[in-house]
Amino acid sequence: MTFSYLLYGLTIRLPLPCNFLPQIQTVSSPDVTVDYGPVPKELVGATASNDTWEAGFSWQASPERYLLKGGTRSGRFLVEGGTRVTVHRNANAEDACLLFHLLHPVAAALFRQRGLLVLHASTVHTSAGAIALCGKSLAGKSTTLAALLQNGCEMISDDLTILKLADSSSVETVSGAARIYLWEDAAQGIGLNLTQSIRHPMRRAKAALSLPGEPCRNPAPLKKLYILQPAACEDVTLLRLNGSDKLEALLSCVYGPLLPEEHPGLFPLLSFAARHTDIYRIQRPENHWTVDEIVKRILNG
């Protein structure tokens, strides 16, 4: 049995159900097919790799091919040509872990192979357009996203932001999965109760939440990008970037490896996005709660 969904504007057919993606009628020719099958343990001819397991998985990549190893509770995933994913399901695999890997690092590889720009960022839609929130782990991306949703913004995506060329003067984002993961203390800080929440499949101290409001389903032009940085400072500081600093900052937000041989068009898109997006660094104090101040700065422009 298979299930068809909409993910970042594409139709995707899965071999397992997912209750937080928009389901669609089964299509005979989906944009992406995911099937169970044999997957190699190593990627022959890999030109890039990361075996540290820092994010709960390891990967190897070559042009048009990406192999992810997700551990005993998940499986191995082979992404090919931006259209096909083969999954070797481990004996102790759990659907929640498989879906987490499919909708995060595997989805990132799919869209990179399709020539789109993938950022490690959470994105909301505001009255002025889309705003992306980047930063390293624990920078506060998802917490700030949740607080923005409580202030009337619409969710576009959490953790993964897909950018594509819209016209001669802008890039746009497309909607992802309507799910957000928060650490317990962060959720409590913005007044959310986690008692009945589903736990994160890979990090038990996080919870999966459904937040107020409907997600933004239509593509939205990206207007601003904020890079969140915890720092040894006393107050929230906001710095607007210019020139080559914008491109360097945007490069730091890219999700996964950029292989020049895979899609040369990614680099012009990256440069275009840097030129046509306002990019800021937000430094926040490490030792006290500042989410309310950050949200105020973002919404007030």
Same domain, 81 and 165: no
pLDDT at 205 over 70: no
pLDDT level of residue 216 (50, 70, 90 thresholds):
low
Quote the pLDDT of residue 165.
Answer: 87
Coil, strand or helix at 181: strand
Domain that holds residue 68: 3-114
Q: Domain holding 188: CATH number?
A: 3.40.50.300
Average pLDDT over residues 21-29: 84
Of 114, 145, 177, the residue that ends a domain is 114
- In the chain, the number of structural domains is 2
User: Which residues are CB-neighbours of 185 under 8 A, at least 6 positions away?
Assistant: none
pLDDT digits (tens, 9 = 90+) for 171-181: 999 888 777 88
- Distance from CA of residue 165 to its chain's centroid? 18
pTM above 0.85, yes or no: yes
120 versus 137: the higher-pLDDT residue is 120
Same domain, 294 and 162: yes
36 versus 27: the higher-pLDDT residue is 36
- Using alpha carbons only, give the angle 262, 268, 47 rounded to the nearest 5 degrees: 25
What is the C-alpha separation between 287 and 48, in angstroms, rounded? 37
pLDDT at 210 over 70: no
pLDDT at 206 over 80: no
Cβ atoms of residues 173 and 183 within 8 Å? no
pLDDT digits (tens, 9 = 90+) for 95-114: 999 999 999 999 999 999 99
User: Which residues are CB-neighbours of 119 under 8 A, at least 6 positions away?
Assistant: 132, 134, 160, 161, 162, 163, 250, 253, 254, 255
